[in-house]
Structures are given as structure tokens and as C-alpha cells.
Structure 1
Amino acid sequence: MTAHEQLPRTVGELRAASHQPRGVKTEITENLLALLRAGQDPWPGIVGFSRTVLPQLERALLAGHDVVLLGERGQGKTRLLRAIGGLLDEWTPAIAGSELHEHPLRPITPASVRRAAELGDELPVTWIHRSQRYTEKLATPDTSVGDLVGDVDPVKVAEGRSLGDPETIHFGLVPRSHRGVVAINELPDLAERIQVSLLNVMEERDIQIRGYTLRLPLDVLMVATANPEDYTNRGRIITPLKDRFGAEIRTHYPLEVSDEVALIRQEALLVADVGESLLEILARFVRNLRGSAAVDQRSGVSARFAVAAAETIAAAALRRAAVTGEHPAVARPVDLEAVPAVLRGKVEFEPAEDGRETEHLVHLLRLAVAETARERFAGIDLGPLAAAVEDGHLVATGENVPASEVLTALPELPLLHEVARRAGAEPDDPPGRLAAAVELALESLYLARRLAKDTDDDTAVYGR
């Protein structure tokens, strides 16, 4: 028997256990404070916001404010909203069979009030998990008032109830989220008349449906996301609704390369081993895209781009391992060549750059490689490696070249041990890890014009 199955099952048992109902905002406040006092992280899985967004959000929740998060695509707004649901009690009591998950000690609908009066202490109680108390809706132009708030149910009318009977109402998403969190993604995409229907919910905490005099004291926390340009400049959100949000919090892309790397590592589903140096290259690549005048920065460059890029190079490594019989599959810098072609459509460029998209991507990716190599190999003289290649030790690499061939092409150089260590590889690591470090050093020499690189179909050769 699980823990919640041993909890009170009737109102009488609930009262005997001295249970006290709490509003949803009070519940979130007290649970958040308990986590902060215990030194625990209230926001597991949220990366890069610890000094900026999260303190603002915590203050807003402690103040009991409804919140709107403003940010470009791929900044983790939805992930952050879902994390708020984790601040609810794990289990909470509700009237068994209640349409709105009403608290057994605080019924609000006519049907539940009547049942509570009839059954008294025998009113049955069920327990709702917090995952059922977080409701998310993507705002679309075809969303109706009935979807969000409710409408008259013709089936109930056909059963013989009069149109004036409040029990003919079919409740929408917001009242069904009573005692929980309601999240609306892309709030400005709601039509203005639909936004009007939320005004009462957010201020008076009740709903009005087709002139009914029904008043439900709803207990909800309203949270939403929006693009800053839609929310602040274009007038796509009505002023009264905007005024009802107690907090407007701006999100952002990771500020540090290390945060970007941590985010990629956390979110990417990698089918092969991808070293930290390669993830750092992808992180710098994405940051270069966000700073490029050729890219439409109004649409942003989503963190999902870097995640998809990491998964792409892992897939390239897995394919090479299958072709060459190499094991385990380890990504190398040569696999980065697959990124521009595969992911070009995930970035929006300025109209003037039409036809030059791949050129820009390749340039910014090479810049990221050079920046990463410069950071990783700072203070190391790569001259002996360049000299070895110029002396005739040509190194071939490509999507069909195994790591062992990359390593055996070079003579034994003490320098390579330091190169491997700086790139995050150890001497006893698989050949793929060591070859990845060597390739990064060779590519940095090529980008610095200290070596040549001849490319033929799927093979590249570093030489004099």
C-alpha cells in the first residue's frame, strides 16, 4: 500500500487528522520557503538562471503574484513554468467525484455544497497528485471562451435542466484547474475577446458564463509566457489583462559558455560519446549565431538548436562506428561538418542573406572551433605537431576514417599527451577520445594557417 492510500478517506477522518486547507498561493509560498531554508534547489533542471531569473520568480511567488515570463524562443520558459508545479504539495485532498477537485472542507459548486450537506462527515475524500494540478494550454487563435472558462452544456439542457440552472454549465480549463496552476503559453496569441474572459479570473477570482449569476471563488495561480515584442510593442495583449499580472520577468539565453554546455549535456539524447570540448564548440557556435548581424535576432536562436546539433554529431559518430567497426562510438571534430547542412532550417536569417545561409553557418562554426582550441590549448606550443605533419606525416580524417588511423599517422610526440589532457581525454581513454583531441589541435593549426587541409569527397587530409 502506497503512502497516500493510508490518508483519510472521509471528511470526518480528515477533520480528526486536524487537516487545515490552504490556498494554492499559500501552499507554494510555504513549500518554497521550506526548500530555501533547507538549502535545497527548488528548481531542478533549470540551468543558467540562478542569479537572474530565479530570484525574481521566487520573489513574485512569495508575493502571491500571477506571473508572465517574457523571452524569445528556446529560453526555457515552459520548463520553468512546469517547475512551479513541483512546489505544490505532493498529495492534496479533494471531494471524490468533484468536477473541480474541490477541497472537502471548502466546496464551491452547487452540487458539491449539496453533497457536503447531505453526507456530512461521510463525504468521501480522494487524494490528487500535484502532477494533476498543473494545467498547460498553448494559446492559439481558435481558442474559445468555452475552452478556457466554460459554456452551457446542451446535453445537460436536453436532460431536462433549465437554462437558468448553474448545473447546466460545462466548465473550461481554468475552473477545472481550481486549486492548481494554470499556464498559458504564447499568451498574446489569444484573441482579444478571449483575453477579456480571463479578467475576472485574475482579479475577482470568479468566472462569468453567458450571463449566469454563478460565482465560483476559484483558487488558481495564473502563469503565462510571451514573446517580448508581442507583449510590449505590438499591442497584441489588452492592457487590463497585462495590468493584472503582478510580475513580468524577462528570461534570457545562458550567459556563460559553461551554462550552455551544461544545458546541452542535460537535454541532448546522445547515441555516442561526445566530449566536453565538442560541446563547448557547439555552445560557442550558438552564441556566435546569437551575435551575428546575418541572423534575425527577433526570432532568437533557440537552445534547442545546440541540443539538436549535439545529437547530430553523436549520430554521425555512431554511423562511422557502424561503417568502420570502431567501438565505442566517439564523436570527433570531423563530425561537426554535418551540423550546417542538417540544421540550416532551424535558424532564421535576415532577408538580405538569402542564399548565403550555409556560408554563414560554416564561418561561425569555424570561429567557434578556433575559439575553443585557443581556450583549451592556451600556453601550449603546437609547433612540434605542425612540424611532424610538414615532415610527411599526413593525417587523413573523415566520416569513414577510424580513430586508430588518425593516431597511427603521427609519430610519438610528448606534446600529444598534453593536447589530449587539455581536450578532456586521458591516456587510457578509447582511441576515439584521443583522436578527437588530435583532430581539434590539427584543425586549430589549419584555421591559424599553419597547416593546409585538402578535402576530397568525405575525406580531409592535413598536410604541408
Structure 2
Amino acid sequence: MTSDLPTTAGALRAAGHVPRGVKAEIRENLLAALREGRNPWPGIVGFDRTVLPQLERALLAGHDVVLLGERGQGKTRLLRTLVGLLDEWTPVIAGAELNEHPLDPITPESKRRARQLGDELPVEWKHRDERFAEKLATPDTSVGDLVGDVDPVKVAQGRSLGDPETIHYGLLPRSHRGIIAVNELPDLAERIQVALLNVMEERDIQIRGYTLRLPLDVLLVATANPEDYTNRGRIITPLKDRFGAEIRTHYPLEIGAEIDLVRQEAGLVAEVGDHLLEVIARFVRHLRESSSIDQRSGVSARFAVAAAETVAASALRRSALIGENPPIARPVDLDSVPEVLRGKLEFEAGEEGREQEVLVHLLRRAIADTARSTFAGINLRPLAELVSDGHPVATGERVHAGDLLAALPELPVLHEVAQRVGAGPKDPVGRIASAVELALESLYLTRQIAKDSDDDRTVYG
């Protein structure tokens, strides 16, 4: 990939290469993407009109950025896409400890090598993926981890303690000419946060008693929970002041965006139709609006992804038990979601003992809302009368989709129901059965038919 690129500082200079800061590099690449109509944020869903315009303005202004938002809102995912705004390849001094530009060395050792070798200073090229560093701000993080410390091995080699070259550089200096992302910034101890002040404003570092000035060129981005950031005072005021932009993220504002996000992120082991993903999206929406759920903790997008994967796994298990192929999820598979994922939610203190009841109620609301929007304009009364007049329909994890459909005679309404979820006569029976089962559950929830359930079997009648 880099065989035709300059390999010495002299060749780099002769090629007309001019050093530029990482923020200028990001600005120019972002402007180029916007002018050409390219999407600079691949894989980011639901932020097009809210978060992304704010982030683009911050990057164009050359600001360090902190993203504020509850868990599972895609903050880390968004920060990782910043890598795509860096140049694909960039020159660095071969063998240097930091990513120094061959025409602009900053460490004492690299400056000495540049004087000695001149135009013969060796150059290597780094890919943009190597210029992004990510640090989870755990409470045990030290100043040495972020900034650096004295390297006893170098001292043992005969150098004096006052020699700047005895320093072992931390993560921030090693991110020179790149991006460093700090996740959960409020979890850093306050004395460690102080170490970031000079990096963000004066763009240098201080290590113990050394008089060392390194003009670091980094873009510092961070994530934080707004509860930690604003209420509990766990970020020191000078550090807050040094961030040029504070941007609030959010959960998907539209059902369609939530479905797209789940479809993109979930690893589904069986087919899950859009009507079932809509149920999951509406279920998550109801959870985020419920007074029974602790909204300070939020309901992560990972919950929706895990719910879709659980529904798919339930369909795959049924396929293995009764030989139903291909495995296709049906509404009965939604019953596993409250049981499996209850532990991913934080409930208000007054809801102890009612957790399962709350989840089942909200899931039924989501099913009813989805059926209402999916089957709007279809008269389901003939199906209700048929089931009530002696054609009970059984479903469950040991009931084959073919058996479910065989319990019902041909009715025009069944074809309409199947068409609404995109299923045709030649499609697998599981896809058609999934639509019919949603219609039956809708009739039950609107009290037009009855439903009796035991451990692994449900009968509509």
C-alpha cells in the first residue's frame, strides 16, 4: 500500500508534503465528504438531524468534544467513526516512540536524529486505524498511564534521572497526531483529571519534576453520563471548561430508526420479520416512557438488540425441537423477552416484586400498537368469528407453523394479513404463520377471542 510513497525526509520534502495538525486534517476531510455528498458517519442511525450537525460544527471549529448521554446511545460507536476522517496514510519518523512527523520532530531523541541524518531521516507510513486510541476511564487509572512516568529500565542503562529521555510516555503522548477517546470520563479520579488540563489547553505534558515541553497535537474526545457530569460533580470545573463542545446524544426518536438500528447491530440466528422488530422497538419505547423504570439509568439500545437476538434464538430452538425449517420467528417467541432480559433494566424502588408484571403489560401494549398499525384497514372480524365458532388455533414452541395454519380454513382475510407483513402464497409457512399469529394475538388483546396458555402451548378460541 505504501511502496510508492517517500521513504526519507528529503524525499518527503521534495514531494511537497507540508505538515498539518490533526484538527486541520479532520476539518479538510470532513469538508470534502460534505461537498461530495459522502456519508462521513457510516453505521450511525437516528442522529442525522440532531447530533451529527452539532458534531460536524464542533470538528470544523477544531474543538475537543464530550458526548453526554445515557448508556447505550451509541456514544462510543460515534467516536470510533472519527477515524474515517483521518488521512488513510500519514508519514512518521521510523523507529520513533511517538507518531512524530518527519519534518516536525518534537522529542529530544527525534530532534537529535533529525540533525544527524538530515534528509536521510527514515520515514514510515502509518494507517489511520493506528492513530486512534481508546481508554476506559477506570478508577485505578494513573497519571503514568495517561501522561507518562520515569522508566527505571532506561535509568538502569546509565542515564541520569534528570535526562528527559528516561521518560516512558503514556497514552496521551503516544496519540500524538491522532485521536484519543476517553470513555466514562467522570470515573477518572479528580487528581488524574488535573493531568489532562495542560494537554487540552497548553498542548504539552508535565511528568514529575521534568522540565519537558512537548507540543502535542491530539484531538481529545470523551463520553460521559449527564447524571455524573452535571449533578454529582465528578468532573472538575477546569476540565469542563476546556472542552470546546458538549453534545447531548439520545435514543432513536422514531420507531423506524430503532428498527434500522436493531437490524444493523443484531446477530440474528433465525429470520425475524419487520413486524416483530417493530414490536420490540415499540416495547423499548414504552419502557423509556414508563414511570416504573429508572430513567436515569436509561434503557439501552443494547436491550433492543438483545431482545431481537433472543426472539431469533427462540425460533431456532423451536426449529431444532420440531424440525420446522427454515427457522422463522413468530409472536409466541416474544414471550421469552421479559424473562431473559429483566436483569438489564433498573426499576424504581416502589416496583419491587412487580417487575415481570410491568414488562408483560408493556410488551402486550407494544404488540397491540404494532398490530393496529400493521393491519389498519383490514376487517379481522371474520377471523374472530371463525375461531370463536369452533376452530381453535394452537401455537407454542412445540407447535409447527403448518399445524397452526391447518387449523384454519381458507379465508380471504388470511391472505390480506399475510400480505401486510410481506408474505406471499409461495413463501415458507413460518412467515405466513407469523402474520396470522400476530392477528390472533391482536384479537385477543382487543377481547374478541379468548386465549388459554400452559407451559409450552397456547390456544386461541
Where 1:55 maps in the other structure, the secondary structure is helix
Amino acid corresponding to residue 345 of structure 1 in structure 2: G
Alignment of 1:108-119 (within 5 A): 108-119=106-117
Unaligned runs of 5+ in 1: none
Structure 2 distance, partners of 1:326, 1:297, is: 40
Alignment of 1:353-372 (within 5 A): 353-372=351-370
Give, in angstroms, the shift of residue 11 of structure 1.
1.0
Amino acid corresponding to residue 409 of structure 1 in structure 2: A
Q: Contact between 1:183 and 1:224, CA under 8 Å: does it hold in 2?
A: yes
Partner of 1:322: 320
Partner of 2:200: 202
Task: Identify the match of residue 350 of structure 2 among 331, 335, 352.
Answer: 352
Partner of 1:424: 422
Partner of 1:146: 144
Amino acid corresponding to residue 119 of structure 1 in structure 2: L
Alignment of 1:239-318 (within 5 A): 239-318=237-316
Structure 1 distance, partners of 2:244, 2:437, is: 53
Aligned length: 461
Partner of 2:97: 99
Structure 2 distance, partners of 1:344, 1:87, is: 39
Amino acid corresponding to residue 219 of structure 2 in structure 1: L
CA shift digits 1:18-68 (9 cap, x unpaired): 111110000000000000000010000000000000000000000000000
Instruction: Tell me the TM-score normalised to structure 2 length.
Output: 0.99
Amino acid corresponding to residue 173 of structure 1 in structure 2: L
Task: Identify the match of residue 399 of structure 1 among 397, 400, 404.
Answer: 397
Alignment of 1:69-84 (within 5 A): 69-84=67-82
Structure 1 distance, partners of 2:89, 2:280, is: 41
Structure 2 distance, partners of 1:28, 1:432, is: 49
Is 1:46 equivalent to 2:44 in the alignment?
yes
Where 1:425 maps in the other structure, the secondary structure is coil
Partner of 1:458: 456
Alignment of 1:182-193 (within 5 A): 182-193=180-191
Q: Contact between 1:28 and 1:61, CA under 8 Å: does it hold in 2?
A: yes
CA shift digits 1:85-105 (9 cap, x unpaired): 111011111001111110111
Partner of 1:171: 169
Alignment of 1:432-451 (within 5 A): 432-451=430-449
Give, in angstroms, the shift of residue 5 of structure 1.
2.5
Amino acid corresponding to residue 256 of structure 1 in structure 2: E
Q: Contact between 1:277 and 1:424, CA under 8 Å: does it hold in 2?
A: no
Unaligned runs of 5+ in 2: none
Identity among equivalent positions (%) equals: 77
Structure 2 distance, partners of 1:457, 1:192, is: 54
Give, in angstroms, the shift of residue 427 of structure 1.
2.5
Give, in angstroms, the shift of residue 376 of structure 1.
0.6
Structure 1 distance, partners of 2:369, 2:375, is: 10
CA shift digits 1:398-443 (9 cap, x unpaired): 0111111111110101111111111232222111110000000000
Where 1:5 maps in the other structure, the secondary structure is coil
Task: Identify the match of residue 35 of structure 1 among 33, 36, 48.
Answer: 33
Structure 2 distance, partners of 1:89, 1:56, is: 22
Where 1:450 maps in the other structure, the secondary structure is coil
Structure 2 distance, partners of 1:340, 1:6, is: 58
CA shift digits 1:383-411 (9 cap, x unpaired): 01111111211110001111111111101
Give, in angstroms, the shift of residue 70 of structure 1.
0.1
Where 1:318 maps in the other structure, the secondary structure is helix
Structure 1 distance, partners of 2:39, 2:423, is: 31
Partner of 1:162: 160
